[in-house]
A and B are shown apart, each in its own frame.
Chain A
């Protein structure tokens, strides 16, 4: 078979993999109860899936374009050292690309790694070589648009804003290295999650390490993105201060060495030490990229030959099970399922990361805020600060529908268990609340470290907000379990993200209510004390209503 035929074929396989990525957990037992609807739905779901995937890719490409334009031109605009701006913006973009590709690709790569498609392909009259080729092509299809977009847009944007062809070429080279890294990481992560799912059991040290790495991949770029969009000058200052004090520390590090190299190629101002350091380390990264692309090919071919599924046996321990209270049983099960599914897992840790990023950005706002002599009236300060814990709650409110959707996993079996709706609801509320408390505590801890003079204010604010936060978690969970649960697909939650976001926004209003009342009271009476009192009263009422509703659940 020639390559163009294989390329055509790989499209079919790719589609199947995308489809599987959405149905990686089979729901079972919840199909609509009419034969006509069944056929129709599956078809429309399939179309919907494809559309969503293309949309995602186009959005990624658009985002890459927007980001590179913004970063490079703002670097020119702000009056910072141009050479340093080049280093910063190139480094930031590279790490962001790495993140975007890995993150957006993780779900599809996981089903790529675990797909049974290879089993089918092997049966058809293809040579093993062809199978491997098809899979490689498939893998490229997963990332096609964003990869091409990054390679085209970033160097061009750089060339335009800094007016240097040699610089642009250097950036092109760096982008390619970064893309290889990104693909390698995404396959490695997918394999790690897959192995976790198939080999199971307790996490090995390496497995835990990989997951920490995954989190790091989350934190770093989001942190950087916040800096790009909100505080471009801050970041430049920051890197400048580091670069001036310890340039030798940054130069050998990815992605800074590539950034330094681009800057060198553009401005040709040589600091001999940094030049040598960055060139030498860039070469090392290049070699690393070559090796990882080799590893990547090996893995892809390995998947083609079905080697990932082999050796999935685990030596069994003693036959003895621990029995918990039903709600704890559900919580444990949820945590186990979530930790083995990339999309659930990322959603679960998202609120905490969000809080960290938010607190950082908050703290740089607060640096200029002196509570006693600020321009805004003192009464409004708690109000403006309350926005921050409130926003981080918005992410938390995505959790109840997500956790409830886990109940749809294997419903055709679990439906036969004597499971009270109330128990399920309580379990989900507890798990969500735990995540909420962890993220609140994280915020308070960070504030204690960074802006200790605001610590008491923050503890009080978080404390006040907790009542209405828990109230909205309770009411939302009850609502979703009653009305929405059957619509939630299990598995790839990004697929039905819109439901989650809409629900979260709707119930976010409950959290906002006391704040709104507070704002109004302060506006009309000019009394911060009265405002505080009404805030406490409204949130207490909300909390009582939520508890009342909860006791009414059967």
Chain B
């Protein structure tokens, strides 16, 4: 049980999310420990985004318990202060510029001006955002919008990072930077949970992965652990993924059908 100083960055037990009568997430439990990069994998519509949105408080859970560093998510302000979040579909305030947007976010988070500006300077040059700093967000490309969201999420050095498919849309350089940042963040004892479709990334980056399918957790553990679980020690994460989500046979058939 999470409590006090030993509380894990993220503790989820029996989480169920419903949209009307439709069950999007079905009784999921998992823990993300300090120093871990946890990958949430699953086919489209599996319930990854719903899970992440519930942690953030954007979606209300039907049942289950979620704690962030031992604090229940009902303690909204405390929990949100410890989190940095990059949404799946980045919709920011279009008429603001990145500068104005970041000023807003930093003011809400009550950040220290000196610390944040030093950090911001580094982040903005790392993600090559400098030249867009005063261009309205509406006029930015998809990738640049995403970078603004990433900078906003990293600006306050959150202890838990929640990223929903953060690499989609980033160019090679920026995605390399982000990956390095995540590894660095975890090495300092921070925690990361992110959803992804890119198997190689999950395989190289994640300490542990959880695979969900139709709202259920169908496999969880380190990539090695999962291999053992599906008894195909040679397989890549991609194969494991297809196996546990029961899509493996399907792929062969569909490809054959398409070739015919």
Contacts and interface: CB of A to CB of B under 8 A. Distances in A.
A432 to B, nearest CB: 19
Interface in A410-435: 410-413, 415-420, 423
B20 A321 contact: no
A328 B107 contact: yes
A317 interface: yes
Interface residues of B, number: 58
B238 interface: no
Nearest to A199: B136
Contact of A316 (B19, B92, B132): B132
B100 A336 contact: yes
A203 interface: no
Given A36-B20, A413-B92, A332 B104 contact: yes
B91 A28 contact: yes
B224 interface: no
5 nearest A-B residue pairs (beta carbon)? A34-B20, A329-B107, A200-B136, A418-B80, A316-B133
23 contacts: A29-B58, A35-B20, A198-B139, A201-B97, A312-B139, A315-B134, A316-B135, A317-B134, A321-B116, A322-B103, A332-B100, A332-B107, A337-B96, A410-B92, A412-B87, A412-B89, A415-B58, A416-B58, A416-B80, A418-B78, A418-B81, A418-B108, A419-B108
A422 to B, nearest CB: 10
A417 B58 contact: no
A201 B87 CA distance: 26
Nearest to B57: A415
A415 B58 CA distance: 6
Contacts of B78: 418
B71 to A, nearest CB: 12
Contact of A35 (B19, B57, B93, B132): B19
B77 A412 contact: no
A325 B107 contact: yes
A365 interface: no
Interface string A304-342: 000001001111110111111110111011001100110
A360 to B, nearest CB: 34
Residue among B111, B116, B125, B139 facing the most chain A CB atoms (10 A cut-off)? B139
B95 A337 contact: yes
B22 interface: yes
Contacts of A420: 77
Contact of B107 (A323, A336, A340): A323
B176 interface: no
Interface of A: 25-26, 28-29, 33-37, 197-201, 309, 312-317, 319-326, 328-330, 332-333, 336-337, 340-341, 409-413, 415-420, 423
A29 B50 CA distance: 11
Nearest to A194: B138
Interface in B101-153: 102-113, 116-117, 120-121, 124-125, 130-136, 138-139, 149
B94 A34 contact: no
B89 A35 contact: no
Contacts of A29: 53, 58
Contacts of B95: 197, 200, 336-337, 340-341
A418 B77 contact: yes
A336 B19 CA distance: 35
B133 A317 contact: yes
Nearest to A326: B108
Nearest to B88: A412
A321 B57 contact: no
A26 B91 contact: yes
B157 to A, nearest CB: 14
Contacts of B110: 323, 325-326
A204 to B, nearest CB: 13
Contacts of B103: 321-324, 329, 332
A410 B91 CA distance: 6
Contacts of A36: 20
Contact of B117 (A37, A321, A329, A333): A321
Contacts of A201: 97, 134
Contacts of B149: 413
Contacts of A329: 103-104, 106-108
Contacts of B136: 197-200, 312, 314
B108 A417 contact: yes
B118 to A, nearest CB: 10
Given A198-B136, A314-B135, A315-B134, A34 B22 contact: yes
Nearest to B135: A314
A321 B58 contact: no
A38 B96 CA distance: 28
A512 to B, nearest CB: 36
B209 interface: no
B130 A321 contact: no
B91 A413 contact: yes
B83 interface: yes
B56 interface: yes
Given A332-B104, A416-B83, A418-B76, 18 more contacts: A33-B20, A198-B138, A313-B131, A321-B99, A321-B103, A322-B113, A329-B103, A329-B106, A330-B104, A333-B93, A333-B104, A337-B95, A340-B95, A410-B91, A410-B93, A417-B105, A418-B80, A419-B80
